[in-house]
């Protein structure tokens, strides 16, 4: 069995895979000060009696401190660990200026989107950052866009102002807020829906073709219903991509 781990800046997705299928999924907070021993205890606790059946791991991480500790923990748990990065076989041409700069999570989601939804395809990942990743009609990764995530933007707004406070990130009844809470909610939720719509429309214009639109990440549930176009929602796209990358590099 394969243990797939996608480490983001805020949360870490962990999946247990058998024969290419995700059989169990966990989401935990990303803690940069967690030691290798603590990660080992965490993983053993999650896997429970399945520890002995897991012999491989695939890791995508955008947090270097966690990559090191988690890699050490996995070394005590499985026989082989694939860390997504330069030199890994993706089966997908990288038509960008510097492929080494593309985050491991973006590679994993793009690989999975191409495999399961065809191409051209555009993936919107909603997390600490909002990323737009594009696979062109020829099946090559051609780049995308990166913006701050909605939670990051709300934190910056609250931290930078004296009178504004944190609010629930839910769509308000009115776009024209009737009070301060509604006004912040409108600016955040509808504003970010507009940001995503704008990036997707401009990306489609540059592609010169229609594309499958896929949404993933823990923030997708809030924004996808407000977007102008139809999206396929795949909450575990990165983990499925890690499963594919593991097979292609065995």
Per-residue pLDDT at 250: 86
pLDDT at 189 over 90: yes
Per-residue pLDDT at 55: 93
Distance CA 83, CA 5 (A): 10
Q: Is the Cβ–Cβ distance between 123 and 113 less than 8 Å?
A: yes
Distance CA 110, CA 240 (A): 10
* pTM score over 0.85: yes
Per-residue pLDDT at 234: 96
Question: Hey, is 83 helix, strand or coil?
Answer: strand
Per-residue pLDDT at 12: 95
Per-residue pLDDT at 218: 86
Distance CA 15, CA 20 (A): 11
**In the predicted model, what is the mean pLDDT of the chain?**
95
Percent of the chain with pLDDT over 70: 100
pLDDT at 198 over 90: yes
Mind listing the pLDDT tens digit for each residue in 99-143?
999 999 999 999 999 999 999 999 999 999 999 999 999 999 999
Q: Name residue 6's beta-bridge partners.
A: 13, 60
Higher model confidence: residue 241 or residue 50? 241
The CATH-assigned architecture of domain 2-83 is 2-Layer Sandwich (3.30)
The fold of the 99-241 domain, in CATH, is Nucleotidyltransferase; domain 5 (3.30.420)
pLDDT at 219 over 90: no
Per-residue pLDDT at 169: 94
Per-residue pLDDT at 27: 94
Per-residue pLDDT at 51: 86
For this structure, is 234 an active site residue?
no
Mind listing the pLDDT tens digit for each residue in 1-52?
999 999 999 999 999 999 889 999 999 999 999 999 999 999 999 998 888 8
Q: Which of 79, 97, 105, 133 is catalytic?
A: 105
Mind listing the pLDDT tens digit for each residue in 168-186?
999 999 999 999 999 999 9
Distance CA 23, CA 189 (A): 33
Task: Kindly report, as residue ranges, where domains of CATH 3.30.420.40 are found in the chain.
Answer: 2-83, 99-241
pLDDT at 215 over 90: yes
Tokens standing for residue 4:
């797939």
Q: Name residue 212's beta-bridge partners.
A: 121
């Amino acid at each position: 069995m394969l243990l797939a781990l996608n480490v983001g800046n805020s949360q870490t997705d962990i999946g247990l895979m058998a024969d290419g299928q995700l059989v169990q999924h966990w989401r935990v907070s990303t803690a940069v000060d967690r030691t290798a021993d603590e990660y080992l205890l965490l993983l053993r606790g999650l896997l429970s009696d399945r520890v002995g059946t897991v012999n491989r791991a695939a890791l995508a991480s955008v947090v270097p401190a966690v990559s090191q500790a988690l890699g050490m923990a996995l070394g005590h748990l499985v026989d082989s660990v694939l860390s997504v990065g330069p030199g890994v076989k993706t089966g997908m041409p990288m038509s960008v200026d510097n492929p080494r700069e593309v985050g491991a999570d973006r590679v994993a989601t793009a690989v999975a989107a191409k495999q399961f939804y065809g191409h051209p395809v555009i993936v919107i990942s909603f997390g600490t950052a909002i990323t737009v990743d594009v696979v062109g009609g020829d099946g090559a990764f051609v780049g995308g866009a990166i913006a701050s995530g909605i939670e990051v933007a709300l934190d910056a707004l609250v931290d930078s102002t004296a009178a504004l406070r944190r609010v629930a990130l839910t769509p308000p009844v009115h776009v024209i807020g009737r009070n301060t809470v509604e006004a912040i909610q409108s600016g955040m939720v509808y504003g970010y829906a507009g940001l995503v719509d704008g990036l997707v429309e401009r990306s489609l214009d540059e592609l010169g073709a229609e594309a499958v639109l896929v949404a993933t990440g823990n923030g997708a549930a809030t924004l996808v219903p407000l977007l102008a176009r139809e999206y396929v929602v795949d909450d575990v796209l990165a983990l499925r991509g890690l499963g594919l990358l593991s097979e292609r590099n065995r």
